[in-house]
Amino acid sequence: QLQASGGGLVQAGGSLRLSCAASGHTLTFRRYAVGWFRQAPGKEREFVAAIRQNGGASFTADSVKGRFTISRDNAKNTVFLQTNSLKPEDTAVYYCAASQTIIQSSIRNPLQYSYWGQGTQVTVSS
């Protein structure tokens, strides 16, 4: 199971640190690629960032590149999404997802993830 947290209300230009904590398969968490996605009202779920298994390569969407950073702490079974310089258009529910079998070419595709957290709301005011 995945538990996303850390969302909230912040002014434009502010920062939030989102966390995605794993429970259950914690002994093998390092073998899971983890992605962050977001969904705003009336819009499709979109890729934000992802990190490969064992703390490998990370990927970020062009819309957040240079502002958001994904990282993981396998000892704590947690993946973080540091969001800086937030903009009103970043407002959305942010979800984390995990997959043990995903390949790099599919890492931006939400359909390739097996496990999903419940989401955490991020609201950025102008």
**Of the candidates 103, 86, 101, 104, which has an alpha carbon nearest to the alpha carbon of residue 32?**
101
pLDDT digits (tens, 9 = 90+) for 9-58: 999 999 999 999 988 766 578 889 999 999 999 999 999 999 998 767 99
The CA distance from 61 to 49, in Å, is 6
Determine the pLDDT at residue 78: 92
pLDDT digits (tens, 9 = 90+) for 82-102: 999 999 999 999 999 999 888
Look at the block and give the residue holding tokens 């960032």.
Answer: 49
The Cβ-side half-sphere exposure at 101, using a 13 Å CA radius, reads 4
The CA distance from 91 to 125, in Å, is 8
The Cβ-side half-sphere exposure at 60, using a 13 Å CA radius, reads 13
Written as six digits, the tokens of 31 are 């073998």
